[in-house]
Amino acid sequence: TPDVGRDFIRDIVAADLESGKHKGVVTRFPPEPNGYLHLGHAKSICLNFGIAEEFGGRCHLRFDDTNPAKEEQEFIDAIQRDVRWLGFDWGEHLHFASDYFEQLYAWAQELIRAGKAYVDDQSAEEIRLTRGTLTEPGQNSPFRDRSVAENLDLFARMRAGEFPDGTRVLRAKIDMSSGNINLRDPVLYRILHAHHPRTGKAWSIYPSYDFAHGQSDSIEHITHSICTLEFEDHRPLYDWFLDNLPVPSHPRQYEFARLNMTYTLLSKRVLTGLVREGHVSGWDDPRMPTLAGLQRRGVPAEALRDFVKRIGVAKANSTVDIGMFDFAVRETLNRTAPRRMAVLRPLKVVIENYPEGEVEELEAINHPDDPAQGTRKIPFGRELYIEQDDFMEEPPKKFFRLAPGREVRLRYAYFITCREVIKNAAGEVVELRCTYDPATRGGNAPDGRKVKATIHWVSAAHAVSAEVRLYDNLFATPQPEPGNFAAQLNPNSLEILTDSKVEPAFKNDAAIGAVQFERQGYFVRDRDSTPERLVFNRTVGLRDSYAK
């Protein structure tokens, strides 16, 4: 048995292999292609594919494509891309519930023949109203005792497309007074004249999730069918189908807690609303908790896998602090991202005693803890940009950066002293006239004098203009509820800086991925960039409020 970070599901798998109940483990990740994958799916993917990897088994990617009204090829493609991006591979085992439609239909007929299913002519509303409640039993449908022959005939005609949507369903005949409402004659098939992304117009009826899921697991010889807690109440039904049909195997369903995170909603249905209502630019908006959005924001797949490992797998629902996610992202990026200098809100600095037209190249290290990342040359000249908030005309006590008459260090360069402040007609500071000390090249004074601050900068003549997109939580409320987004969204979730300046190294390096802008945070180039105009997304800031 492999020695891995254990949780109750891995314990079950290990015990089943040890006892010989199973020779190998087979899991599956079963998304419905009705949207893009999100952070919650990352937990399920890492669990299912992770178990397969750790125990030498396999994990299938199976699309639960049983509701063509909501499913699209775009989502089927995006889901595959995102699972791969996260670092997992299903090999030959790409499956679709729709591959089993013919078999599922045959099994439904089998239930009818055994007197365990019937066609119900009641509307969805009537069925809902006669389901009963937790304290009250349901009522039998007036169509419950139809003959097998009539049921077979009606079911065949449902399939043939004779009846309009919603006029009939096929139901299992189980127990209308069961304590478990899922067992009160659940719906197996509904009529839907819709175009299916894979089967086209071949079917006019579609199986329910419950009727498709366990049988698909069985056909694929899944050993451990791992799902989230909302399906716990469905487990008796899952087993009922497998016990009452001549299926090739009987997988077991296990439930774990879904991922919930503060300031975030994790459900495809809900995220669809954000996209449809235009609150975000699309599924891959960098503020979305989708894998596509997180990737575009600059979150490395490795950080996602690491986050999932940190949160673990449990049986009780809980909510993870979003700070824990940011922490995992910073951990990975701090280790890997090369350092660069960028001035987000530029303020012009002119070094009056630096010769006009002269340029020198200074050496900067790419990563303080990783010498293998080497060094680069950055140009320095008479005109520079520094960050607006690295200067204060009337600095308060604890402000040690640039101020009139004060000396600071320019990172990798020289000490400079502010001699004069130039303002525009509105009284805003638009330029600083400074002097530099040529003896401090590299950042130290031969006479041993100290400065209290080191600030970043870029050469005005060489800097590349950039748009920088600063992201914050999409929701302003820590526990957002589905619906009524307008009242809950953070109006400041996106701030766009249109006049930022980045060091020229970026111009010739289209391949560079995530970077740290020194003193600012982690950024990644957005696909909206052009050679003339770079666009960066802030992945996460440097601040680290979450304790180790």
Residue 146 tokens read as 């139809």
Instruction: Return all residues near 501 (Cβ < 8 A) that are at least 6 apart.
Output: 342, 343, 346, 385, 458, 460, 463, 464, 465, 466
| 548 given a catalytic annotation | no
- Per rule CB under 5 A, count of chain residues that contact Mg ion: 1
**Member of 7, 12, 16, 34 binding ligand ATP (CB under 6 A):** 34
Q: Compare residues 32 and 390 and give the one whose CB is closer to ligand ATP.
A: 32
CB of 277 to ligand ATP, least distance (A): 16
Convert residues 196-235 into a mask of x (bound to ligand ATP by CB under 6 A) and - (unbound). -------------------------------xx-------
Q: How many CB atoms lie within 10 A of CB 142?
A: 12
43 is a site residue for ligand ATP (CB under 6 A): yes
Residue of minimal Cβ distance to Mg ion: 32
CA pair distance 457, 235, nearest whole angstrom: 61
Local structure of 465: helix, strand or coil: strand
30 is a site residue for ligand ATP (CB under 6 A): yes
Pick the catalytic residue: 32, 71, 387, 503?
A: 32
Q: Compare residues 217 and 526 and give the one whose CB is closer to ligand ATP.
A: 217
Are the C-beta atoms of 64 and 30 separated by less than 8 Å? yes
Choosing among ligand ATP, Mg ion, none, which partner's interface includes residue 252 (Cβ < 5 to 8 Å by kind)?
none
Q: Compare residues 31 and 50 and give the one whose CB is closer to ligand ATP.
A: 31
503 is a site residue for Mg ion (CB under 5 A): no
* Plot region of 423 (φ>0 → left; ψ -120 to 50 → alpha; else → beta): beta
| Radius of gyration in angstroms for the set of CA atoms belonging to the chain, rounded to a whole number | 31
**Member of 13, 14, 25, 31 binding ligand ATP (CB under 6 A):** 31
Secondary structure of the chain: what % helix, strand, coil (to 5)? 30, 25, 45
Chain centre to alpha carbon of residue 345: 30
**Member of 17, 26, 27, 44 binding ligand ATP (CB under 6 A):** 44
Residue 529 tokens read as 């960039």
**Member of 51, 97, 117, 259 binding ligand ATP (CB under 6 A):** 259
Taking CB under 6 A as the binding criterion, the range among 30-38, 104-112, 355-363, 432-440 that sits at the site for ligand ATP is: 30-38
Q: Compare residues 301 and 416 and give the one whose CB is closer to ligand ATP.
A: 301
CA pair distance 384, 378, nearest whole angstrom: 12
Choosing among Mg ion, ligand ATP, none, which partner's interface includes residue 266 (Cβ < 5 to 8 Å by kind)?
ligand ATP
- 202-234 burial code (b ≥16 CB/10 A, e <16): ebbbbbbbbbbbbbbbbbbebbbbbbeeebeeb
Are the C-beta atoms of 524 and 297 separated by less than 8 Å? yes
**Member of 180, 199, 267, 334 binding ligand ATP (CB under 6 A):** 267
Residue 147 tokens read as 């003959």
Are the C-beta atoms of 341 and 368 separated by less than 8 Å? no
| 268 given a catalytic annotation | yes
| 10 given a catalytic annotation | no
CB of 41 to Mg ion, least distance (A): 10
Q: Any bridge partners for residue 69, and if so which?
A: none
Q: Compare residues 228 and 244 and give the one whose CB is closer to ligand ATP.
A: 228
284 is a site residue for Mg ion (CB under 5 A): no
CA pair distance 539, 523, nearest whole angstrom: 5
Q: Compare residues 17 and 227 and give the one whose CB is closer to ligand ATP.
A: 227
Q: How many CB atoms lie within 10 A of CB 242?
A: 18
Are the C-beta atoms of 42 and 291 separated by less than 8 Å? yes
**Member of 26, 29, 32, 516 binding Mg ion (CB under 5 A):** 32
Pick the catalytic residue: 268, 339, 409, 469?
A: 268
Residues that bind Mg ion (CB under 5 A): 32
Q: What are the catalytic residues?
A: 32, 258, 268
Residues that bind ligand ATP (CB under 6 A): 30-32, 34, 40-41, 43-44, 227-228, 258-259, 266-269
